[in-house]
Amino acid sequence: MMRCRGWSGTRSGWIRLLPLAAVLAGLGLAFGLDAHRWLTLASLAEHRDWLIRLVGAHPVLAGLTYGLGYACVAALGMPGTAVLTMAGGFLFGRWLGTALAVLGATAGTCLLFLAVRSSLAPLLARRAGRFLERLRPGLERGGFWYLVALRLLPVVPFWAATAAAALASMRLRGFAAGTALGILPGTAIFAGIGAGLDAAFSRGARPELASLLSAETLLPLLPLAAVALLLGWWARRRLG
């Protein structure tokens, strides 16, 4: 019986390390593939014809690959999520692109949350403990709505809110729901910009965000921006 309990404890320990192992494996893969080079508007413009053909020929596989790639980027805290969200709108349309991006970002962020909670908490507590401790009271008091407010109006880095929620022992279900709700308006805005990229590329616009923004692109997104601001205000007010 003692041997069985020992094996059970060892197995449980390995299972707890799986999220960290997944994050580290993704980090190695990202460096090996030099992934940051692909997360640019210039790269999207350069490969747009090939990507459009790929999505047209294999829509389900392309959607799954996009969601998985987004989850990896989110789990690793890599820059370029705005471009990746715009790519989702460009390739899959505004609303499907929004849904895939939200699902991918939430899954990846949950993986990072589990890695912090199971393995990285002591390291983060030593390195950024004072900074993260400032967020703990709000997360312990407001929990879900405090996280929604942080995601809607990102006054702290995305990874820091994730780490603080893990250190505050927030439940995974509430963390996932708060993250998805909080990033939804902003994701829809960037996916909406992405949905207008094909017309911008066709007229020869430079693959830079400033040159791609026009009244035609931005006007339909103003209601979404207003919703994001109102939700952020309401969430902060709810916390008192």
User: How many other β-carbons are positioned within 10 Å of the β-carbon of residue 52?
Assistant: 14
User: How many other β-carbons are positioned within 10 Å of the β-carbon of residue 10?
Assistant: 10
Stated pTM of the model: 0.77
List Cβ neighbours of 209 (8 Å cut-off, separation of 6 or more).
41, 82
pLDDT in tens, 174-225: 999 999 998 998 898 889 888 888 777 766 655 555 555 555 556 665 676 6
Inter-residue contact 111 to 22 (CB < 8 Å) = yes
Domain range summary for the chain, segments of one domain joined by +: 39-238
CA separation for the pair 43, 232 (Å, rounded): 33
User: How many other β-carbons are positioned within 10 Å of the β-carbon of residue 200?
Assistant: 21
**Token couple for 188:** 């829809």
**Token couple for 72:** 């990896």
Q: pLDDT at position 143, please?
A: 77
From 46-60, 116-130, 135-149, the region with the lowest mean pLDDT: 116-130
